[in-house]
Amino acid sequence: MAPLKLAIVGAGPSAFYVASRLLSLLPPTSQHASKLKIHLYDRLWAPYGLVRYGVAPDHPEVKNCTHKFEDAASDPRLRFFGNVNLGTPPPISHTLPLPMEALFPYYTHVLFSTGCTVPILHPALPPSQFCVPALGVVHWYTQHPSRPAPPPLERISHVTLIGQGNVSLDVARMLLTPPSVLAKYDVPKPVLDVLERSNVQHVSIVGRRGPLQAAFTTKELREMMNLPDASMNPIDPKFLDVSGTNLTRQQSRTMQLLQKGSKNKPGTTKKTWSLDFFRSPTGLTTPSSRESGEKARLTLAHTTLDGNDRAVPTGESSTLETDLVVTSLGHRAEPSAPWYDPSLNHLRTLSGRVVDAQGRVVRNVYASGWAAMGARGVLASTMMDAYAVADTILRDHFPGEDVETTPKSEADAAADQAQEALGGTETVDVLPKEVDLDAVPPEVEAGLRRGLVTDFADWKAVDAEEVRRGEALGKERERMVWEEAREFLAQVRPRNA
């Protein structure tokens, strides 16, 4: 059987889960072990994607999955190449740009685990200095290499979040938690400095539907209720009356929390927050500049639910004065990515296999995680999807051979039947069948020599140094930006020019 040399585009959780699954199913003792090579590419210089640059700093337990990823990276059959931007327009200036066509000739298989990196914007709320996507705020407090500017919190007293998912609650919690509490976590010092100067007094969290339809989890809501220096404004009692309604377990727990209210009672704290249900933005009137001291005016249509639980306007509206609107309405994949389907907002796939616009399966090209499913689910669901895709890769490459995979799920079997209905075994080829197992594009090799491209040994050195610096400050770690990391690596691991 021919070797399986896999390039994974993206090095976030889904990518590492697929790699870990493949390596474990073809262990060093396997007869096929020597036929497997995995190369992970990411435009970020550090691995782990959303685990490093999306998880809220005060949720360190979520990052425990990196131990499993480190185990996978210790296998010599896996290599990581960071700071390489493949194909799509580079959003980060210091990356090594590489066309996708330069990658394909070196691999027999390619997996897209690129996630959903583009925020969905509200049509009535164009971006401005008064309206920004939540992703930019998250990237600011996690020190993402895209380096968004910090919000001018010293001149902001009221923030309005549009959307009632966990990301909204993460942002609200970061704005309302005392910096002294956040200081022990993985919050970079420049971020803490901005939070120290913050004048934010109230955060409104706006949703177009009611508490039973809100997307946040009970855990996130409980954390908001327990904020040490903030209290929740009372909710209109009519929204809390669920008598005669059959509730799910999560809905019951959510309603119990909302009915009980926050730990700090209204009127006892300087900082406050609110859940504003049944409100949908229709426009934002902004002052000429922030220097004027005037607030923006957010127009909100009042809504109710129709028979299908969809939000529909009642005809009433109100206006909310605010200093900053942060939209948190979900994300989509990069539209310029290969095989992107605009009707889906992610890549076109069938049981993990990429499908072109004509319905043909692109041979040996796969997608996993949010790139394949859209921006939904948590790490556990991402892991299960990644394992299923890894199993599909092995079944496709070793048909009929004794390679251990889990039995096909009903969904996978149905997808395979759907593939047959779309044209049976009709495929289109973009990858070679034979390649040099150890070769990588020469641009990447040159980038490694120059210190522009990072490998996993580089990351381990940076990781240890960040933890060391953090310990000196009494916190989880103190993060480096790219310029610091590159200078540090030049000292500890000199490279040839």
Q: Is 209 annotated as a binding residue?
A: yes
Does residue 220 contact residue 172 with C-beta atoms inside 8 Å? no
Q: Is 330 annotated as a binding residue?
A: no
* Max Cα–Cα distance, the chain, nearest Å: 73
Q: Is 401 annotated as a binding residue?
A: no
Q: Which long-range contacts (CB under 8 A, 24 or more apart) does 452-455 make?
A: 452/83, 452/94, 452/96, 452/486, 453/81, 453/82, 453/83, 453/84, 453/96, 454/45, 454/46, 454/80, 454/81, 454/82, 454/83, 454/485, 454/489, 455/79, 455/80, 455/81, 455/82
**Cα-only R_g, the chain:** 24
Please report, in angstroms and rounded to a whole number, the separation of the first and last CA atoms in the chain: 40
Residue with tokens 């177009």: 208
- Alpha-carbon separation of residue 282 from 158, 196, 290, 319, 410 (angstroms): 19, 33, 22, 10, 43
Q: Is 447 annotated as a binding residue?
A: no
Q: Is 136 annotated as a binding residue?
A: no
Q: Is 166 annotated as a binding residue?
A: yes
Helix or strand holding residue 364 (H, E): strand 361-367
Q: Is 478 annotated as a binding residue?
A: no
Q: Is 495 annotated as a binding residue?
A: no
Q: How far apart are CA 169 and CA 150, in angstroms?
A: 18
Does residue 140 contact residue 174 with C-beta atoms inside 8 Å? no
Phi and psi dihedrals of 415, rounded to 5? Answer: -65, -40
The pair of structure tokens assigned to 223 is 């954390």
Q: What's the CA angle centered on 115, arms 330 and 332, to 5 degrees? A: 35
- Alpha-carbon separation of residue 60 from 72, 182, 210, 226 (angstroms): 21, 12, 30, 18
Q: Is 14 annotated as a binding residue?
A: yes
Q: Is 86 annotated as a binding residue?
A: yes
Does residue 67 contact residue 35 with C-beta atoms inside 8 Å? no
The annotation places the binding site for FAD at 14, 50, 86, 370
The annotation places the binding site at 14, 50, 86, 164-167, 208-209, 220, 370, 377
The annotation places the binding site for NADP(+) at 164-167, 208-209, 220, 377
